[in-house]
Structure 1
Amino acid sequence: MARAIEELARVEGVPVAVRHVCRACAEVIAASGVALYVLGDLGLGEVVYTTDPVTCRVAELEVTLGEGPVHDALERGLAVQAPDLTGEAMVCRWPVFAPQASAAGVSAVFAFPLVMGMVSVGSLEVYRTIWGALSADEVTDGLLFAEAAMRLLLDRLQGEPAAGEGDLFGEGFHPDWTVIHQATGMVSVHLRTDLTSAFLRLRAHAYLTDRSLSDVAHDVVTRRLGFSRDADSGGQP
C-alpha cells in the first residue's frame, strides 16, 4: 500500500500528498472513485478531494442532503458499509441519498473515518459502480488508507507539510468551499442569523432547486441569488 502511494508521487515528481492516497486507494480497493472529507468550521464534513467527476457529484450530494455513509462515519467514528444502495435497508437508512446516488451511477459506498484519539476529523469514502461488500482485507486497506490521509493532514496542522509539500491536495474534483463559506457568511448577514442556520438554508435551496451546493453559492456571491427571511428570491437581492 505504501509503495502504491509513493509510486504515484514518484511519477509526478512531487512529495506524497493526499491525492496520491486517494488514487492509490482507488487502485488497491478497485473503486470507481474515492472522496476525502475533513471537518470544517461548522463542524460538518467538507469535500476536499475527489478522484473523478461522478464521485464529486455524489460527494457534494451527500453534503447537500445531510445524510449518507460519511455523516454516519464522522458521527460514530466507525467504518460504514453500504454494499447495495438499492437495498431496502439502505433506502430506509438514507431515503433521499440512496436513490439519488444510485441514479448517479453509484451502487455501493464505504466510508472510513479519519480518527485522532476518540475524535473523527474526517472520512475517506470509497465508491463502486457495482454492488457488493468489501472483503475483510479491503476493509483493512480502507482503514489504513484513511490513517495515511490523516497523518498527512496532521503534518500540515503541525506546520510540517510532508517533505515540504506546498499543495497537500493538488488538482482534483471538489466543490469550491471558499465560495461556499463566503456565500454562507452573506446569507447569514441577509437573514441576520448564525452561520449554521445560514448554511442549512443554502443547502436547502440547493436541494429544492436540484442544483449543486457550489453552484448556488456562486450565485449568492455574484449576487444573482438573494435570500429573504421568509423565502428565497432570485435575481438581485
Structure 2
Amino acid sequence: MGTDRRRDILVVIDEIASSARQPVNIQHVCLACRRGLTATGVAIYLVGAAQPIEVVGPLGEEMAELQVTLGEGPVSEVVRQNQPVFVPNLVNSGSTRRWPAFAPAALSLGVASVFVLPLTLGAIALGALEICREVEGPLSPAELADALLCADTATTLLLSRSAGPAAGELPHTEPEGRWAVVHQATGMVSVQLDTDLDQAFLRLRAHAYGTDRRLSEVAADVVARRLNFTPDTNEKQR
C-alpha cells in the first residue's frame, strides 16, 4: 500500500468530514469506504458490543440487524477469530453450510458478497469492519488496499477515542435509529426480568429469532408496551 493511496483515502475522509463541518470520525471513514468500494453497506463493530457502533447504507443497516438477531455470520466469526473473512459469492462459496440461517437471509436482502476485516492492535482484537456489496466477485487489489486503509484509519480513531476524545469530536458511537430503540427496549426488558442488560438483550434477540421477526420490530413493541417479558419465559403480547 503506497503512500499515495493512503493520502488519497485520507483526503476523501477529510472532504467528507469538512462537508459535514465535523472533525473526522468513524462515520466519515465508513462513508469513504462505501464510496471507494462501491459498497451498499458498511458497518463497524466493537468486540463485546451488542450492536454496531456505526452503519452507513441501507444494506449495512439490514445486514447488521440480521447478524445481531441471528448471532451468526462473518462479523461474529471475525470478532471471534481475529482473522478476515471474505465471501466474494454468497451463493457458491459454501456459505449456507457455514451460516445456515444468515446466508439465505442475506441473499434475500440482495447481498451478493461480504468482506469483513478485523480491527486489531497487534494481536488484540478491537472489532471489525464489514463491507457489503450487491455484486459478486472479489475485491480488486486496489479495493483491498483501500479496505485495509479504512480499517487502519478506523482502528486509529477508536484508539484515539479510548484515550479521550478531543474537544468538539463527534465519535458517532451512540445508538441511533433502530439501534436506539433496541437499546431502550433492552433496558425495559432488563427491568421486567430483573436481570442484567446482557441477559435482557439475549432474551430480546431470542424472541425475535423464535418469532421470525426483525429485532427492531420486537424492540418497538417492547417500547410501545405491546410486548412484555416475564421470568417464566412466556412473553405477553398486548
TM-score by structure 1 length? 0.86
Counterpart of 1:16 (choices 24, 29, 39) is 24
Measure how far apart 1:170 and its partner are.
8.6
Query: Aligned to 1:168, what secondary structure does the other structure show?
Result: coil
In structure 2, do the counterparts of structure 1 residues 54 and 173 end up closer, same or farther at CA, with 3 Å as the change threshold? Answer: farther
Aligned-pair identity (%): 45
Preserved CA contact (<8 Å) 2:193 2:229? yes
Q: Which runs of 4+ in 1 moved over 4 A?
A: 170-174
Preserved CA contact (<8 Å) 1:47 1:174? no
Deviations 1:80-117 (A, max 9, x none): 11111122511111111111111011111111111123
In structure 2, do the counterparts of structure 1 residues 88 and 20 end up closer, same or farther at CA, with 3 Å as the change threshold? Answer: closer
Distance 2:171 2:147 in 1: 20
- Matched with 2:164 is 159
- Matched with 2:45 is 37
Measure how far apart 1:210 and its partner are.
3.2
Measure how far apart 1:194 and its partner are.
4.5
Letter in 2 for 1:95: P
Distance 1:182 1:173 in 2: 11
Deviations 1:173-214 (A, max 9, x none): 75324x434433433443354543332221021123333223
- Matched with 1:54 is 59
Measure how far apart 1:61 and its partner are.
0.6
Letter in 2 for 1:167: L
Measure how far apart 1:220 and its partner are.
1.8
Preserved CA contact (<8 Å) 2:51 2:64? no
Query: Aligned to 2:51, what secondary structure does the other structure show?
Result: strand
Distance 2:190 2:17 in 1: 41
In structure 2, do the counterparts of structure 1 residues 174 and 118 end up closer, same or farther at CA, with 3 Å as the change threshold? Answer: farther
- Matched with 2:235 is 232
- Matched with 1:131 is 136
Letter in 2 for 1:6: D
Preserved CA contact (<8 Å) 2:30 2:42? yes
Q: Once structures 1 and 2 are overlaid, which stretch shifts more, 70-79 or 82-91?
A: 82-91
In structure 2, do the counterparts of structure 1 residues 142 and 174 end up closer, same or farther at CA, with 3 Å as the change threshold? Answer: farther
Distance 1:131 1:233 in 2: 43
Letter in 2 for 1:208: G
Deviations 1:111-162 (A, max 9, x none): 111112322222111010011111333223212211211211222221133x
Distance 1:232 1:144 in 2: 46
Letter in 2 for 1:152: L
- Matched with 2:94 is 89
- Matched with 2:152 is 147
Q: CA RMSD in A?
A: 2.4
- Matched with 1:25 is 33
TM-score by structure 2 length? 0.86
Where in structure 2 are the equivalents of 1:101-120 lying within 5 Å? Answer: 101-120=106-125
Structure 1, unaligned runs of 5 or more: none
- Matched with 1:208 is 210
